[in-house]
Amino acid sequence: MEITMKEVFDLMISGIPGAPYSETVDTLKTGDPNRKVTGIVVTFLASYEVIQQAIASGANLIITHEPTFYNHLDNIDWLKDDAVYQAKRKLIEENQLTIWRFHDYLHSLQPDPTLVGLLKRLGWTNYAQPDMPFVCQMPPRKLSEFVSEIKAKLGLSTVRVVGDMQMTCQRVGILVGACPGDMQIRIMSDQSLDLLIAGEINEWETSEYVRDSSAMGKPTALIVTGHSISEEDGMLEIVPWLQARFPEIPVTHIPTGHALVTI
């Protein structure tokens, strides 16, 4: 039985309230929606290397969480004469790849698969509050112990930290990706968090709030993991869902990895 790209997209959003959205970044970025699917690759971001690996696997559909062309809306008007963009576009088109983004719809699911995936990786699922899974009631430990655990379980050589490494943390919040600073701060305050684990921050926002709070005698802490590592496991979560619905189509997850390294 032949399955088209559009049939995959339609099924993926069919159970989401309000879908299809009138305004969303979850659109077709390249390719023909009516082409037959030969294989699906799921990834955090369709980097040039991920695209090469997808081609080698025989897949012709990439479902990506983040933009392919370096800006949130995948606007390419400003890139048309850029050599890097042109080379990436050429690779995609020569191999007849279809790229579809799955961002807004993914984050609208409850619970959010990106959070579910990260909780599983950390082994913290049982600590998450049922009504607010982004808040975990943890056994009390020093901030330094949380840092060591997160680095080990996420395979990170470094994380960014604000706070006293000897302070005790028990009520821990997890906000994946790049949530707005005001959202991060409100949740820290409203939920009386000792520690917030965030994927990404603006340096003049949440980190400064945590620093001021601690200076006022209310110790709080922040661990910043990096955007991609906080959400990659969320894309892995949709692989078995796709496999169950399209058993005749190979579905694989290709991790994007980190562009940034700490020297």
The tens digit of pLDDT for each residue in 108-157 reads 999 999 999 999 999 999 999 999 999 999 999 999 999 999 999 999 99
Query: What is the maximum alpha-carbon separation in the chain?
Result: 65
DSSP string, 128-194: EETTEEEEEEEEEEEHHHHHHHHHHHHT-S--EEES-TTSEEEEEEEE-S---HHHHHHHHHHTT-S
Residue 262 has pLDDT above 90, yes or no: no
Amino acid at 110: Q
Instruction: Report the pLDDT averaged over residues 30-57.
Output: 98
**Percentage of the chain exceeding pLDDT 70:** 100
Which residues lie below 8 Å from residue 120, measured CB to CB, with a gap of 6+? 233
pLDDT at 105: 97
- How far is residue 249's CA from residue 59's CA, in Å, rounded to a whole number? 9
pLDDT at 45: 98
Using CA atoms in the order 244, 245, 248, 254, what is the torsion angle rounded to 10 degrees?
Answer: -70
Architecture of the CATH domain 113-225: 3-Layer(aba) Sandwich (3.40)
Structure tokens at 8: 């995959």
Q: What CATH class has 5-108+234-253? A: alpha beta
pLDDT at 263: 86
pLDDT at 137: 98
Q: Which of 118, 112, 189 is nearest to 156 (CA)?
A: 118
- 74 or 1: whose pLDDT is higher? 74
Q: Which of 60, 78, 53 is nearest to 5 (CA)?
A: 60
pLDDT at 261: 86
Domain with CATH 3.40.1390.30 in the chain: 5-108+234-253, 113-225
pLDDT at 61: 99
Residue 1 has pLDDT above 80, yes or no: no
Cβ-contact 205, 160 below 8 angstroms: no
Tokens 């490494």 — which residue?
165
Q: Which of 145, 109, 230, 134 is nearest to 190 (CA)?
A: 134
